[in-house]
Structure 1
Amino acid sequence: MIKWLVTGASSSIGYGIALAALKAGNRVAVTSRSMDNLQKLTAQFPDQCFPIESELSDAESMKNAIEKLNNFGSIDVLVNNAGHGYRAAVEEGEKDRIREIYETNLFSPIKLIQEVLPHMRQQHRGAIINISSIAAVQSGVGSGYYASTKAALEQISRALQEEVTNLGIKVMIVEPGGFRTEFYGENLKGTEHDISDYAATAWKTHKKNVKNDHREPGDPIKAGQVIVDVIRKDNLPKTLLLGSDAVKFVNDQLAQRIEEIRDWQNISRKTDY
């Protein structure tokens, strides 16, 4: 039986992944800030689901979670899904909030990757799935800190893909578009350091101005099933886009980047010896 670890599994895409993996007959360790939030999964799959309470931005909580994982056993599939947004202009960013979002979205996933790799290397098999965002391709106004955590996670993942390519370990980046989750609700953090010069730009995306109307095109349950189905394949994409909006957004952004490179290539080449 394959053993999975899915962080942030109490709702949204993380819940969808855990549910699909459990339905496929796997054992799944799931994490959340609150054990109460995991009851739906544990009640439905009492013999397969292993709940762990963990605050990923807290070092002691992470240590305790990893100790509990030792009772679950070695992980075959790691899904770094847990994370949240933070809305602030770059100048409005608060030191504690910046540190917290990096701990949650970047440093904790790195720690878990380092924890699972020894077993995967020994077995010459395993899979690591890092849930990123289309924001890693192009940040939105007022979302630079969140986007930077995801961009950093992607570059770590790309290096890892090359480092373990001959060890039988799969590494896949997932870039979701808009999904009907709590990303824009209670999971979204916001600055309290307002600077009025950003009223016409970053303030438009401040948390207090964001409406969570749940009209996004993406279905988290379908996303979870797609990821579980894809990870079974021998040949994986290095980056898997999720959602028709994600496909359009990334296509448009890359086309603009290529156009800019062409427009400025004569200047760019002037630095050669």
Structure 2
Amino acid sequence: MSKQKVWYITGASRGFGLEIAKAALAAGDKVAGTVRSNPEHLAEQLNHHDNLMVTVLDITDEAGAAASVKQAAEHFGRIDVLVNNAGYGLLGAVEEATSGEVRQNYEVNVFGLLNVTRAVLPYMRSQRSGHVINISSVGGLSGYIGWGIYGSTKFAVEGITESLAMELAPLGIHATVVEPGFFRTDFLDETSLSRTGNVIEDYAATVGGMRSFATEVNKKQPGDPRKLAAAFIQLADSEHPPVHLPLGNDTLARYREKTAQFEQEISDWHSVITGTDHDDVI
């Protein structure tokens, strides 16, 4: 990979995407940042940097993704780092979410990510180098009350990335899935978070509590987005990047809690788990 890297970052207008773009430019790299509208606003936020190009993209548009990626590759000559950042949250009980709300969350968080990834990989394969970085969530490692549908989209991103890492390794391309915890971005604002239209009273004590918590904790989350962006620079510079990179003490604690509980369940049900093979299997 060349010393000066070319980044392609989706959802670069705010939140993680904007902070990563700032950090990459500050590191001397080049950035193609995508926005859904108003490209001039992102250019202004990044001071019309010489190493910046802004492209308009709705990641659910497969043809649009291919055109945007081609524009970036032709402008900069290559793409070294793909950051699949664009996405949004959906808060509500699994039962409360309508089929339309569920499908749209998957259209953006999963199918949109795949649209962009398929568009970028031919360029990385021709280079025999590159790094695909997919942003998941602590909710992609462990379920949370009220985040079942959103978390399931991130569980999908986890599985996609793990397989990508194995498929791309022989081609000189890395794949990493990053699992941020609760960071102080606008994720819990209405601009990034949707709430189900249906509200079922029976879930007041569980999902209702999460709705209140999401409102109360907004802009008080422990994670620093600028430190996350710095971690992305380290990740992109690594010769041997991890497949998984959980970011935040809250993410690490949640993951360890889950694995400890999982191990306990395995111990409690060990005889059942190991007793399902055919008798002729040694």
Q: Identity across aligned pairs (percent)?
A: 38
The 3 A distance-change label for structure 1 pair 256 and 36 is farther
TM-score between both structures, scaled by the size of structure 2 = 0.89
Residue 117 in structure 1 maps to residue 105 in structure 2: no
Q: Which structure 2 residue ranges, 5 or more long, are not aligned?
A: none
Residue 10 in structure 1 maps to residue 13 in structure 2: yes
Aligned to 2:51: 48
The 3 A distance-change label for structure 1 pair 100 and 66 is farther
**Pairwise mapping of residues 149-228 of structure 1 onto structure 2 (< 5 A)?**
149-186=153-190, 187-206=192-211, 210-228=215-233
RMSD value, Cα: 2.0
The 3 A distance-change label for structure 1 pair 124 and 58 is closer
The 3 A distance-change label for structure 1 pair 209 and 218 is closer
Aligned to 1:265: 270
**Corresponding residue to 2:27 among 24, 29, 40:** 24
Deviations 1:96-152 (A, max 9, x none): 221211111111111111111112112111110001111111111111111010000
The 3 A distance-change label for structure 1 pair 135 and 154 is same
TM-score between both structures, scaled by the size of structure 1 = 0.92
Shift of 1:208: 9.5
Stretch deviating more after TM superposition (257-266 or 32-41): 32-41
Q: Secondary structure at the match of 2:16?
A: helix
**d(CA) in 1 for partners of 2:40 and 2:150?**
27
**d(CA) in 2 for partners of 1:141 and 1:56?**
28
In 2, are the aligned partners of 1:16 and 1:222 still within 8 Å (CA)? no
Shift of 1:20: 1.1
Q: Which structure 1 residue ranges, 5 or more long, are not aligned?
A: none
